[in-house]
Every structure is written in C-alpha cells, then in structure tokens.
C-alpha cells in the first residue's frame, strides 16, 4: 500500500515543520489509505472544528523574562518524560509503514515520549513493547463482554504496559476501510457475533450498542485493574465527575479526532468545563486537533497534564518510519520550548497556571 519514494532520508532531514510531513505522507500512501487517515466522519465538521479551535486561541508573548534552565519535563503516574507530547493510539499502523507500531514505539523511546498502543495494533503487544524498551500505556477497546475485555487488558499488563486507557467514545465506528490481507488487529480474539434481533428491535440500540460498555462495566473493570486506569473520550463535565467517582485515575478529553460522531464540540472547547468538574483531582490529557508545539502550549495553558498527537506522527511514520516519527516529536517539542520561552515560562507548570492567573483578564495567554 506504500509507494517507493527515493531519498526518504532527505525528506525528513529537510522538513522544518510538521505540516511538511503531511505532504510527504500523502505522496507515499495509497489514496485509499490516505483518505482513511485524513478524513473524519460524515462531513468532517468536528475534524475541522478541532483545528479551528486551536487557530482561534491566541498567545500573548511576555518578553524580558529570564528563562534560563527551563525545561518541558512532566511526570505521569510516577513515570517521568522529557516533554508532555504523547503518541495517541492509532490503529493498524502497518497500513502506513511496514515497520508499523514498532517503529513508532522506537521513536517514542528515542525522544523520551509516552506512547499509547491501540487495541487495534497490527503488531503484537509484546513485539511493540520490546521495540520500545520501556513501559508503554495500553489503549483498551471494550471487547463486547467482560471476560474478553479483561483477558486483553491482562495480556497487556503481563507484557509490561504500565497503564490502561479505556476508550468509550467509539462503540460504533464510521471510519472504516477494507484492510489488506497482511494487516489486521493481531491482538484480538475472533469478533463476537452480533446478537440476533427480534422483530421490531433496532440494529443500533439492540445490536451494536448491546456490546458497548456501560458505567457498570467501567466500575467492574476498575475493580480488576490495579495499575492506573484512565477514561478516554470524555467531553461532558458530568461524565468526568462520574468517572472520577468510580475510581478512574485520569481522563482524556477527546472526540476521537472527529472520526466517530460529527458535530460534537472541539476537544479544546470542551476543556474548560471538564477542568472545572475535575478540580485538580486527577490528571487530564487532551487529544484531537493538535498540529504544532504552540497547540500543545495552548492545551497546557488550560491545565492539562499532557497532550496527545495522532495524525502528525503517522505522517512522519509514512514518510520515514521511526526516523520520521522521531523527527515529528522533536519538531513539536522544539516549537513547544520556543513558545514557552517567548511567553516567559520555564516549565510546564508555568504554562498550566497561565489561564488561572488571568481568569479575570481579557489578556489571557491563550
């Protein structure tokens, strides 16, 4: 599915911005694969809203600050990373490069970044974490029933994954394509058959959603996962509060990159309500729409602990494998450091306090 492109190394060495990788990736990938990666659901309203939310946010520079000794280090559940840029879980990465998730894991390790590995990974969980040579987090999709879900989570934990992130916003997926024979979700058991419908029953309510997780399932899973358990796909403050009450250790504000339900709020726009409901009780991460280091800063300035990127690092993967992913991370980290410095911040904690310090001012930083 990948076209041969000569002088691949030159592509990433000459790239000076993450957006350049988008062009390289499009040139390399089969058009069907490119559409699968790039498009959102329906008309793409949410996909565009995610990016435009970051475009609307403004940053006010604060010159003359002494920022010597500044850094971007973060600590997430006892793990320290050099920066808060996290590789989001992206399915079937062998679609984009023959080295797949292993290449992304190696790049994350080289750049001291955290990576979440998808339940729909196209390489085994054990291969991927071995390539990383460090703990990763595991993104868990509900597997239709409790026993199957727990077996998958326990396999990841046995392999050395240090946290589980349950994704709940995609029980019915709309962004689908016919996978090539050599690409599949190798870590999953044979899919469950949909329940037989009685006359008058709905394919959605009584079919697909009959296998979707509920709050009771989340509470049950919390009782079986002893390591950190986060909930991904939260956009409503009441859901955030309920997840914490059930014992979740963290939240990921995400609309799945606009790939599930079109017309939902941009993740960045949903953040203030979520942060107010959480009130500092657990770490909150943001996913969807991040395209640059300045976007990372804008999310951090609303109090999140870390920020996930998805499509941008896949552009790097498609262009140059592990080297491309590593370079995308490095470019975004450099942009983040420059933004922090120009705003007078010396650490992530400074950025997280900017909005709080300017709540009553029209000159807030972002």
- Band (200; pLDDT cuts 50, 70, 90): confident
Question: Per the domain annotation, does 10 fall within a domain?
Answer: no
Statement: residue 314 has pLDDT above 70: yes
- pTM equals 0.91
- Would residue 196 count as lying in a domain? no
What was the pLDDT predicted at 274?
97
Percent of the chain with pLDDT over 90: 71
Q: Count up the domains in the chain and report the number.
A: 1
**Which residue has better confidence, 257 or 224?**
224
**Domain contains 200:** no
For residue 279, what is the domain's CATH number?
A: 3.20.20.70
Beta bridge partner(s), residue 85: 307
Confidence of residue 210 (pLDDT cuts 50, 70, 90): confident
pLDDT tens figures, 99-146:
999 999 999 999 999 999 999 999 999 999 999 988 999 999 999 999
pLDDT band, very low/low/confident/very high, at 341 (cuts 50, 70, 90): very high
The predicted model gives 181-210 an average pLDDT of 84
pLDDT digits (tens, 9 = 90+) for 321-334: 999 999 999 999 99
Q: Which residues are catalytic?
A: 256
Highest mean pLDDT among 61-65, 155-159, 166-170 belongs to: 155-159
Asked whether residue 199 is domain-assigned, the answer is: no
Judged on CB neighbours under 10 Å (0-12, 13-18, 19+), 235 is buried
Q: Does any domain span residue 4?
A: no
Q: Which residues of 287-324 are buried (b: 16+ CB within 10 A; e: fewer)?
A: bbbbbbbbbbbbbbbbbbbbbbbbbbbbbbbbbbbbbb
Under a CB-based contact definition with an 8 Å cutoff, are residues 161 and 139 in contact? no
User: In this structure, is residue 160 part of a structural domain?
Assistant: yes
Residue 357: the pLDDT is 39
Which domain range does residue 41 map to? 22-60+69-177+205-357
Q: In this model, does residue 174 exceed pLDDT 90?
A: no
Quick one: pLDDT at residue 6? 38
pLDDT for the residue numbered 138:
98
Instruction: Name residue, tokens 């942009």.
Output: 335
Looking at residue 162, its pLDDT comes to: 97
Q: Give the up-direction half-sphere exposure of residue 217: CA atoms within 13 A in the CB hemisphere.
A: 19
41-45, 204-208, 277-281, 318-322: least confidently modelled range = 41-45
Query: Could you tell me what percentage of the chain is helix, strand and coil, using 3-state DSSP and rounding each to the nearest 5?
Result: 45, 10, 45
**Average pLDDT of every residue of the chain:** 89
116, containing H or E segment: strand 114-117
Q: What is the pLDDT of residue 361?
A: 41
């Amino acid at each position: 599915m990948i076209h041969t492109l000569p002088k691949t190394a030159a592509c990433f060495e000459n790239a000076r911005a993450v957006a350049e990788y988008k062009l390289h990736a499009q040139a390399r990938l089969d058009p069907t694969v490119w559409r699968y990666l790039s498009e959102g659901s329906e008309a793409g309203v949410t996909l565009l809203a995610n990016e435009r939310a970051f475009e609307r946010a403004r940053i006010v520079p604060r010159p003359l600050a002494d920022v010597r000794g500044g850094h971007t280090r973060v600590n997430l559940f006892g793990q320290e990373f050099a920066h808060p840029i996290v590789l989001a879980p992206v399915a079937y990465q062998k679609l984009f490069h023959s080295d797949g998730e292993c290449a992304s894991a190696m790049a994350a390790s080289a750049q001291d970044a955290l990576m979440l590995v998808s339940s729909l990974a196209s390489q085994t969980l054990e291969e991927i974490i071995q390539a990383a040579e460090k703990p990763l987090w595991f993104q868990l999709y509900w597997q239709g029933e409790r026993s199957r879900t727990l077996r998958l989570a326990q396999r990841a934990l046995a392999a050395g994954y240090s946290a589980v992130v349950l994704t709940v916003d995609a029980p019915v997926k709309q962004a689908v394509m016919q996978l090539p024979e050599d690409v599949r979700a190798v870590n999953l058991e044979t899919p469950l058959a949909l329940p037989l419908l009685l006359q008058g029953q709905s394919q959605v309510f009584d079919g697909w959603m009959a296998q979707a997780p509920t709050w009771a399932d989340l509470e049950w899973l919390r009782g079986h996962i002893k390591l950190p358990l986060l909930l991904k796909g939260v956009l409503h403050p009441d859901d955030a509060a309920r997840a914490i009450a059930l014992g979740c250790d963290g939240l990921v504000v995400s609309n799945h990159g606009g790939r599930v339900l079109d017309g939902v709020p941009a993740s960045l726009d949903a953040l203030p309500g979520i942060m107010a409901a959480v009130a500092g009780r657990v770490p909150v991460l943001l996913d969807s729409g991040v395209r640059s280091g300045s976007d990372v800063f804008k999310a951090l300035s609303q109090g999140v602990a870390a920020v996930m990127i998805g499509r941008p690092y896949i552009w790097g993967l498609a262009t140059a494998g592990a080297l491309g992913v590593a370079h995308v991370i490095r470019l975004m980290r450099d942009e983040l450091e420059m933004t922090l410095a120009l705003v007078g911040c010396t650490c992530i904690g400074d950025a997280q306090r900017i909005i709080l310090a300017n709540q009553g001012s029209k000159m807030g930083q972002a």
